[in-house]
Amino acid sequence: MDVLLMIERWIEPLSRSRWIEPLSALAIILITRQVQFKVAQLLIIFTPRNSLLRQASIPIQVALGALAFPSIQHAIVDPISIHYRVLAGGTIVLQTLVSIATSAMIRFDDKDASALSKTPGLWNKMGALTDLMNSQQCIGTPYQISWIAPFDENRPEYIPPRGEIIRSRATAIVGGYFFRQIWIALFWQRLHFGFFWLIYMNSWLNSLYVFGDLVSALLGGAVEDRPPAFGPIRYSNTIRGWWGKFWHQSHGYPLQGAATYICKDVLGLKSLPQRYANILIVFALSGIFHIFTDRAEGIGYEQSKAMVFFCAQPVGILIEDAA
């Protein structure tokens, strides 16, 4: 009885802890991610490209994402910023899209998994596919996205030494934090409008990537596998340049793969119509993604302007190309 009483006294404070729900929510998101990835990987390795099982997995993947999404409401407590709830919501939507795109749209198969894996075996193939699905830029693989921001624009082939990366990324994290605090103090009333919001979000998103770069460098990861998330600002003078070379390209591969599948395999488009339909679908998928991240922040589906904003971008690109 004394032992049971001691255990009860030890558990009671934990049960009242405000961290129980956030940690449980995080566990649900991570477990769902593993299940979604493993379902996609097993389909890639064991089924042919055109297997109906791959198409049948789409509603299952969507259902898994839908089951996990409500957990984000419990993912944040003070003093953690609400932006990380947006990050959690975006993670669920993105992992669902990646799982569907790689297995049912881009349609990797066992040959692709074997080419990605340095050594044979089921677990090695699944590990290689996990790296690919986590990367999404597919650095160093045959599927690498077309534009990778250089470390040094004047020396495109330059790869900085590890020590330089650690110093620069640590400095960027600290500097970015203080910049955002000053920006909030100066422009809090205007922060959610246009230019002010873009500047803030650029800094916040970049800080997440930079933190990942720092952790990777400290753990011995290859520097060349973590290029800058954002490109040179000089490319932001056009809509195509902003989205194609300045803004982060971390979601480019699954979005592009899904759009190509819809244009070619579903709609049967070719040539110029395919080119612009592809752009429209990529931005439409981005709009859907951001509708859910808005919802994670507490903005209702009806109030979100994400779809209007993102679907307006292809119109701007079309006008630029015609000019």
Count Cβ atoms within 10 A of the Cβ of residue 289 and give its class: 0-12 exposed, 13-18 middle, 19 or more buried: buried
49-88 confidence digits (pLDDT tens)? 999 999 999 999 999 999 999 888 776 665 556 677 788 8
Residues 6 or more apart whose CB falls under 8 angstroms from that of 276 comprise 314, 318
Residues 6 or more apart whose CB falls under 8 angstroms from that of 120 comprise 114
Nearest one of 278, 261, 256, 255 to 104, comparing CA atoms: 261
pLDDT of residue 166: 94
Determine contact, residues 139/112, Cβ cutoff 8 Å: no
The Cα–Cα gap between 84 and 313 comes to 26
pLDDT of residue 80: 56
Instruction: Report the predicted TM-score, pTM, of the whole model to 2 decimal places.
Output: 0.85
285-304 confidence digits (pLDDT tens)? 999 999 998 888 888 888 88
Which uninterrupted H or E stretch holds 122? Answer: helix 122-135
Tokens matching residue 60: 């299952």
Task: Judge whether residue 36 has pLDDT over 60.
Answer: yes
Q: What angle do CA 20, 14, 4 make, to 5 degrees?
A: 135
The Cα–Cα gap between 251 and 291 comes to 15
143-182 confidence digits (pLDDT tens)? 788 888 888 888 888 899 999 999 999 999 999 999 988 8
In the DSSP assignment, the letter for residue 191 is: T
pLDDT of residue 86: 82
Task: Judge whether residue 107 has pLDDT over 80.
Answer: yes
Mean pLDDT of 199-223: 88
The Cα–Cα gap between 216 and 286 comes to 27
Query: Given pLDDT bands bounded at 50, 70 and 90, which one contains residue 13?
Result: low
pLDDT of residue 34: 94
Task: Calculate what percentage of the chain has a pLDDT beyond 90.
Answer: 41
Task: Calculate what percentage of the chain has a pLDDT beyond 70.
Answer: 89
